[in-house]
Amino acid sequence: MSGMSDIQETRLHEVAHARAGDKGNRSNISLIPYKPETYALLLEQVTEVRVLELFAHKGATKVTRYELPNLPALNFVIDDALEGGVNAALNLDQHGKTLSYLLLGLSVSMPRALILHPAPE
Amino acid sequence: MTNKIVHIGCGAGFSGDRVDASIPVVATLAKRQGPRYLIFETLAERTLALAQKHRRKDPSHGYSPFLEAYIRPILKTCHESGIRIVSNFGAANPMGGAAKIAEIARELGCTGLKIAVVEGDDLFQFLSEEEISNYPTIEGLEIGDNEVVAANAYLGARPIADALAQGADVVVVGRCTDPALVLGPLVHELGWPEDDWERLAAGTMAGHLLECGGQVTGAYFADPGYKDVPDLARVGFPIAEVGSDGSLIVTKADDTGGLVSAQTVKEQLLYEIHDPANYFTADVILDISQVKVEEVGPDRVRVSGARGKPRPDTLKATVSIDGGWMGEAEMSYAGPNALKRAQLAVDVLKQRCREIGTNCPVRFDILGTVSVHDGDGGGGGAAGDWPDDGDYRVRVASRGHDKEGIERINQEMLSLYCSGPAAGGGFRQHLTDQVQTASILVDRTLLATRIRMMEVSA
């Protein structure tokens, strides 16, 4: 059993991967843990509220989180995240293709064993 | 009863994808037995509106500008090996695209090649511009009084299957759902009934996984030190093996780079999906919420558990309207105190825009700080603590219907060469006409599809 000393602050990038897609002004970003044991911790820590905060400066108005326990993976649908999307955005990345890595920058607390490149003990 | 397997490869995942990616796919399929197909998906939402604009300038144009580059390298091998081709190359002019393929086929000596054209996606065949404009939109913009450049419904797999049943070696479609390019051949080969929702769902999932080409075989995936991909420069495009029972294996072309793993398949499975239990297509509502992904061999992944619900009564259609102009201009500042000089350039441009009375949306970025992750109003970290020394690039973007006003903003960036901060260099600008899209739902009984066949003579 891991002790509390095993828990490290890290970024989602160390425990999961992601891909962003667009439809109109709505972005969807998958979040797929490298290790299945991570899934339960993602459910706890990567909430709709936190993701909405992360995309607030983009104008996001709503986040819906879908759960896919068999993969396992999460799918976040973020309304109004694309500053108008391909129809209207002035952003260089009109499709929001790079936004998967905005999500992967989110801070999380994870047991050392689940982190791809953990900090030295 | 034995489980019949259909082999379907993908040669392009978007208009602009690698033009030679299909060659190893065809070489792999040519060695296999059984029914074999090659699909090309080259028609994104706004690509068709751009094609419509081309057709207005020249009525023989309006099909995929890459058609010849995609078709020529593989057509003869496909014809000789019995690999049938299905594509939405047709864009705004499927007949023109088919005529071009016939011309190439004659040059290559593909005598007897049968080309089918699926027509019936163009809403202007069935509705007036005013009727189209009066539809409520479900995503994207309101249509309003803007000129409708193109309006096309997403056709399903049935007309593709019908064209194959009539003996087509090549099927050219305008607008259809991307998964239909795969589901059409499966329906034809495996005889799946129109209400076999479970199998139609499995075939639609296969199409969804294939439609973006290399995105399921390690492309658009590599992240060094995290997700390493062998020989990405030679990434192999995907091949699906779909059984009559709806079983699905995803693999890739032989002797290529890239990889097919549970990770690559999961990323593509969720790509552009919203509610995983309700992915609407013309043929079925796909539910992937219970799907399982297993690695069953090197570069072989089994995907199972798709469920289906009855297809919707309506078809989605994309309406493209004139979207005015977008201007973009950039200038670089580098070396000592570069950030301060770049910030001064932005301040000067903002003041100039105010003084000339710019009234369209304008955005400024300093590339080298945070740009694409920043918001139009900041807040994403661009204004953070970046080093004064560096290599920064100022960007301005604007859009609107006032072309002269947009050009003027670009010109203001250009003027910084002599009238801005010290040592700005590397000016570039773009001015591009824009197409905007809205989605509507139309009753499927409104549309009548038609198949036209042509045969290549000696």
Ramachandran area for residue B39 (φ above 0: left; ψ -120 to 50: alpha; else beta)? beta
Which has more pLDDT, B457 or A61?
A: A61
Interface ipTM? 0.96
How does pLDDT run across B102-143, given as a tens digit for each residue? 999 999 999 999 999 999 999 999 999 999 999 999 876 788
Domain boundary among B312, B347, B374: B312
Chain B contact present for A62, CB below 8 A = no
pLDDT digits (tens, 9 = 90+) for B19-55: 999 999 999 999 999 999 999 999 987 788 888 888 8
Which pLDDT score, from 0 to 100, does residue A3 have?
Answer: 53
Kindly report, residue by residue over B338-381, the tens digit of the pLDDT: 999 999 999 999 999 999 999 999 999 999 999 999 999 999 99
CB nearest to A87's CB, from B305, B397, B437: B437
Q: Which of B209, B316, B349, B373 to mutate to test the interface with A (most CBs of A within 10 A)?
A: B373
Q: Do B372 and A90 touch (CB under 8 A)?
A: no
Contact assignment for A87 to B288 by CB distance below 8 Å? no
Residue B141 domain-assigned (yes or no): no
**Domain span at residue B225?**
5-120+155-312
Q: B139 to chain A, minimum CA–CA distance in Å?
A: 6
Residue located via tokens 């500053």: A83
Return the pLDDT at A1: 46
B63 and B186 in a single domain? The answer is: yes
Q: Which residues of B touch A116 (CB under 8 A)?
A: 226
Rounded to whole angstroms, how far apart are CA atoms B123 and B362?
35
DSSP B246-291: S-EEEEE-SS-B----HHHHHHHHTTT-SSTT-EE-SS-EEE-TT-
Give B347's contacts (C-beta < 8 A, 6+ positions apart).
Answer: none
Question: Does B195 fall in a domain?
Answer: yes
* Whether residue B209 sits in one domain with residue B86: yes
Residue B211 lies in a domain: yes
One domain, residues B261 and B404? no
Compute the nearest-CA separation of B66 from chain A (Å): 22
Same domain for B295 and B163? yes
The residue whose two tokens read 């069935």 is: B126
A73 touches chain B (CB under 8 A): yes
Q: Are residues B282 and B346 in the same domain?
A: no
Averaged over B187-202, what is the pLDDT? 97
Nearest-neighbour CA in chain A from B196: distance (Å): 24
Which member of B141, B270, B397 has the closest CB to residue A87? B141
Residue in chain A closest to B221 (alpha carbons) equals A19
List the single residue in B with minimal CA-CA distance to A81: B375
* pLDDT tens digits along B315-325: 999 999 988 99
Domain C-terminal end among B290, B312, B334: B312
Residues of A in contact with B398 (CB under 8 A): 90
Structural domain contains residue B367: yes
CATH number of the domain residue B388 falls in: 3.30.70.100
Chain A residue numbers touching B277 (CB-CB < 8 A) = 66
B330 shares a domain with B286 = no
Look at residue B55 and tell me if it is in a domain: yes
Least confident of B4-8, B145-149, B333-337, B394-398: B145-149
| pLDDT of residue A2 exceeding 70 | no
- A16-109 folds as Alpha-Beta Plaits (3.30.70)
pLDDT tens profile A15-70: 999 999 998 899 999 999 999 999 999 999 999 999 999 999 999 999 999 999 99
Residue A4 has pLDDT above 60, yes or no: no
> Do B204 and B105 share a domain, yes or no?
yes
- pLDDT reported for residue A86: 83
Q: In this complex, do B372 and A98 lie within 8 Å of one another by their Cβ atoms?
A: yes
Same domain, B191 and B105: yes
